[in-house]
Structures are given as structure tokens and as C-alpha cells.
Amino acid sequence: MKSLDQFPKLPLGIFPTPIQKLENISRLLHTNVYVKRDDLTGLGLGGNKVRKLEFLLADAKAKGAEVVFTTGGAQSNHAMLTAAAAGKVGMEVILLLKQRGVTRCAGNLLLERILGTDVRFVDTDDYADIYAEMDRIGEALGKPYYKIPCGGSNALGTLGYVDCAREIAGQGMDFDHIVCAEGSGGTMAGMALGAKLFLPGTKVHGMMVDRGPFDRITPALMREAAALLGAEVEITPEDYLLRDVCGPGYAIPSEAGNAAVSLMAEQEGLFLDPVYTGKAFGGLLALAEEGVFREDDQVLFLHSGGAGGLFAVEME
């Protein structure tokens, strides 16, 4: 197996991110709940995409790209962080965003306005069309370009969270469970593969905030990332525990998610977002309710960010 250190990374963020105990929530849930502060990754307003972009933009640079494309919904945290990162490393960025979600100049679109980002809305929901449009624009520009998929969730982006699992292993605590949001799949797949490699005995739960099919996407990304690393691992369904927390739909707040956002704010003074981390934390609360966690268990919740989008949602 190769070492993760053999893959070039651009230093975009601040790592390792801290792990803190959530004292009040631990008392309420009768177990030990910790938070991995990937909302503090140090670029833009923080968030999980920074870890992926460190690998992806290093690859773009190595391939001589001058222009970076990516895509997502109108309020994509990933798209905004790609814009922030690309500017920092001297690359042009063009975002092709779907007209799904809040399209007025608020939240991440406001941040992209401040960043001076070239944002173009595309009138399709089909990613194949969007990637074809990137090729058309890139060829017309006549400059070398690099396409980052939605959420940065390809095998290389997934290494960002394999690396995060390695980082957790180095932080001196053992966890029985890790809980994270799953939107495009790379975070969960990387964490699940990383746990297999660096955190044996830790169960990883992916809280699905979109309609998958994550039972296929997750193991596929895990296998592709393992192949990149040359890691010989057999991926079985016990390696990636999935739970549907999507509620009324992707980017549409749910009652359980909003309750979780409020609980975290009131008890711990931390802000989650209703699209990803709130729904994911709602899933953690449901697991606690179902008795999945024992009193002496150590449970780690990944706070994957989402602050940019928080200012564009309407919560009842």
C-alpha cells in the first residue's frame, strides 16, 4: 500500500482540526459525544471540502491546469470553497451551478460575489450535461482546464477523508462510532475506508441527506480510493452503515434536522446547518434514542461545516 503522503496536497487549510467533548449533549444522551471541528478547516468559512480540495487542486496544478470547473446546487458549499481555494492558488474558476435551492444573492452566492467568482447557472439537473458544458467552455477558452465533480467526490477527493481518519487516529482517543453527513459520498466513503485502515473497531455511520443510491455510491468510492492507495481491503456492508435522514428532500429542511440544529446551538453554542450537519446530527440523536450507543461508548460527530449556506435557508 502507498502512503497518503505520496499524494501531493496543497496546504489550503489548518490541520489537525480539534476534537472537543460535547459535555451537555453527552449528559442528555447518556453517552460520550465528541465533535471533530471540520467547520474550522481554516479556508473560507471552513468545512469538509477543504480536505478534498487539497488533493484535487494539487492534481490540477500538477496537470498544468489554469482553469478549474466545478458544479453543485445554487448554495453549494463545495463550489464556494473551490472558488476561494482556486483564487488562493492562482487559478481561474468557473462554477456551473444548478438552479436548485436559493438562487438570490445570499449565503454562498453572496460569498461568491465577494470572491468575484464567475458563476453561471445551467438549466439542467443532469450532471452529464453539465460536464459536457464544462468541456465546451474549456475548449472555447483554449486554456488547460480541470473538472472537479460535484462535491469533489471522486477517488482522489475521497482521500481527503481517509486522511482525516488517519488524523483522528493520531489525536490519541479511541472512538466506537463516527457519525457524518453523506451528500455526494466522498466524506463518508473516505471516513469509512480510513476507519478500516487506521481506526479498526470504529463503526462509521453515513447520514444520507440526499437520495442516493448511496448503498452503491459508498462502496464504489471506497473501492476506487483503496485502488488509488493500492490498499488490499475487502469492502463489506458492515464497513459503511447508512441511514436516511433526507426528510422532505435534499436542501429542504426537516423537522428532525431543525430540532438538532437548535439543540446543538442551545446546549453547546455551536451552529449546524439544516442541509447537512443538522440532519446528520438528527441521525445521531435517533441512534441514541434507539439505544445504539452504550453509556461508556465514545461517539464522534463530524462537523463538516455549512456556515455559508446557513444564511440562505428559511427555517420555520
Q: Interface residues with ligand PLP (CB under 6 A)?
A: 47-48, 77-78, 151, 153, 181-188, 273, 276-277, 304-306
Angle at 48 between CA 192 and CA 41, to 5 degrees: 125
What is the rounded distance in angstroms from the CA atom of residue 7 to the CA atom of residue 58?
Answer: 9
Task: For residue 221, report the phi and psi dihedrals to the nearest 5 degrees.
Answer: -65, -40
What is the rounded distance in angstroms from the CA atom of residue 49 to the CA atom of residue 66?
Answer: 20
Which sign, positive or negative, has the C-alpha torsion 50, 51, 52, 57? positive
What is the rounded distance in angstroms from the CA atom of residue 235 to the CA atom of residue 101?
Answer: 35
Please tell me whether residue 121 adopts helix, strand or coil conformation: strand
Of the candidates 102, 100, 99, 98, the one whose C-alpha atom is nearest the C-alpha of residue 110 is: 102
Q: What length is written for the chain?
A: 316
CB 222 within 8 A of CB 193: yes
Looking at the chain, list the stretches that DSSP marks H as alpha helix, in order from N- to C-terminal side: 23-29, 49-62, 77-88, 108-115, 127-141, 155-169, 186-198, 214-229, 255-268, 277-289, 307-310
Three cell numbers at 202?
Answer: 470504529
CB 107 within 8 A of CB 312: yes
CB 126 within 8 A of CB 99: no
Active site residues: 76
